[in-house]
Amino acid sequence: MDALFQALLLQSGYNAALVAVGATFLGIAAGSVGTFMFLRKRALVSDAVAHATLPGVGLAFIIMVLLGGDGRNLAGLLIGSALSSLLGLFLIEWIVRRTRLYEDSAIGAVLSVFFGFGIVLLTVIQTMSAGRQAGLQSFLLGSTAGMLFVDAVIIAVGGVVALGLIFLLRRPMTVVAFDADFAASSGLNVRRTDLLMMGLVMAVTVIGLKLVGLILIVALLIIPPVTGRFWTERTDRLMLIAGGTGGLAGYVGASLSAAYPALPTGPVIVLLCFGMFAVSLLLAPQRGVLAALLRRRRFQIRVHYRQGLLALARGEPIYDRLTISVLKKDGLIRADGVATEAGRAQAAKALRDETRWDIARQIHQDEALSARYDGLTQIEDVLTLDEIAEIDRRIGPPVGVPA
């Protein structure tokens, strides 16, 4: 536990601290860019972007070795991965634009073919220089173990730069993500903004390769916005929550894996994200599962209350358990099921309201009013007192419910 606190306070070594900071920035950047992709309903394009980096990594390694350099130079590998994911993006766009295949097929095709080709290149590398290939596999699942100082700096700086770019471009990207037609009609270049968005996704992916790995980086782009979506209906807040979720997961995840080196960084970060998502799914105030269940229960009780009162007014026996307990709780019936004074009064009112509704729906046959009749809405909420008085004049004086 101490090790974890040390790591959380950035005290477990300079590299670990730098990695934790880098992971935080990366998480924030990924969460915010992911928000745009999520709103644009193109979340899974980032999966293809991520998988398409693999052949670039492989080719960059091979080229650097052939040129006599060190194949593991992170900057070189990242440039390679950026180029190949760019090619992948271009191909997706080309397939969707030029053929009749849907975007999901294009995504899946690019993803699997690039990844497959990347695997071929990895086996080539394995055979071509047996000792030196170590490290490339770590791009699949990410690893902070044995990360060089330079690598940590690249990740941290990359995260900050990506974050700055997102901040600068947030207005046009929000507009395009939210309503592309509106953006186009107000003079924004939608295509260019989309490209910028994808460029940022690519940047985040490439920076996150070493840390989270190319299979799981997509989680950092998707889960935080989905988590945020449970808490808010506003784009700017969604971005903040998504960025916060991603940043927190990155920070805690990197610290955890610094404290317990056996825990792989990428999966830990992703599972932390998922934990926050699961909590949101259950507990969010409007869209959460718990809130939905409560809403359903409240509605159920209102229906039973109303139907119970009408049954009392018509002198029908009540058998339904829930109805009985609802009425009993409000003191409207006694334990033996006979209506109390208050119960009879309420029941008379309910029945009278029902009659009023009938008349009201005859008078106002327009849709708007009739549509509001659901057996639960109070007539006082819909009609004015004058109108109710007019209806009452037609149906005569109130009638009591016999005891």
Partner 1 sequence: MSSEFVQLSLTPLLIGIFAAIACALPGNFLVLRRQALIGDAISHVVLPGIVVSFLVTRSVSTWPMMVGAACAALLAVGLIELIRRLGRIEPGAAMGVVFTSMFAGGVLLLEQSDTSTVHLDVEHALYGNLESLIWFAADDWHSLLDWKALSALPPELFRIAIVAVLITLFIIILWRPLKISTFDEGFANAIGMRTQLLGFALVVATAIAAVAAFDAVGAIIVIAMFICPPAAARLMTNRLETQIFWSVFFATASAVVGYVAAGYGPLWLGADNAVSAAGMIATVSGLILAAACCFGPHRTRTSAPLASGDQ
Residues at the site binding partner 1, with contacts judged by CB under 8 A: 38, 41-44, 47, 94-95, 98-102, 104-105, 107-109, 111-120, 122-124, 126-127, 137, 140-141, 215-216, 218-219, 221-223, 225-226, 229-230, 262-264, 266-268, 270-271, 273-274, 277, 281, 287, 289, 292
Q: How far is the CB of 95 from partner 1 (least distance, A)?
A: 6
Of 76 and 266, the one with the shorter C-beta distance to partner 1 is 266
Provide, for the chain, the percentages of residues in helix, strand and coil under a 3-state DSSP scheme, each rounded to the nearest 5: 75, 0, 25
- Contact indicator for 137, 122 with CB cutoff of 8 Å: yes
- Contact indicator for 243, 16 with CB cutoff of 8 Å: no
Give CA–CA dist 241/225, Å, rounded.
8
Residue 232, token pair as written in the block: 């808010």
Of 156 and 176, the one with the shorter C-beta distance to partner 1 is 176
- Contact indicator for 187, 51 with CB cutoff of 8 Å: no
Phi, psi of 333 (to 5 degrees): -130, 160
Q: How far is the CB of 321 from partner 1 (least distance, A)?
A: 28
Q: How far is the CB of 120 from partner 1 (least distance, A)?
A: 4
Q: What is the DSSP string of 7-47?
A: HHTT-S-HHHHHHHHHHHHHHHHHHHHHHHHHHTT-TTHHH
Of 127 and 384, the one with the shorter C-beta distance to partner 1 is 127
Report which residue type is found at 97. R
Q: How far is the CB of 237 from partner 1 (least distance, A)?
A: 16
Q: How far is the CB of 382 from partner 1 (least distance, A)?
A: 29
Of 5 and 94, the one with the shorter C-beta distance to partner 1 is 94
Structural element, H or E, at residue 67: none
DSSP, res 339: B
Q: How far is the CB of 153 from partner 1 (least distance, A)?
A: 26
Of 31 and 118, the one with the shorter C-beta distance to partner 1 is 118
What residues are paired with 333 via a beta bridge?
339
Q: How far is the CB of 144 from partner 1 (least distance, A)?
A: 13
Give CA–CA dist 100/327, Å, rounded.
61
Q: Looking up tokens 């990594």, which residue turns up?
A: 57
DSSP, res 402: P
Of 199 and 275, the one with the shorter C-beta distance to partner 1 is 275
Rg (alpha carbons) of the chain, rounded to whole number = 31
Of 263 and 389, the one with the shorter C-beta distance to partner 1 is 263
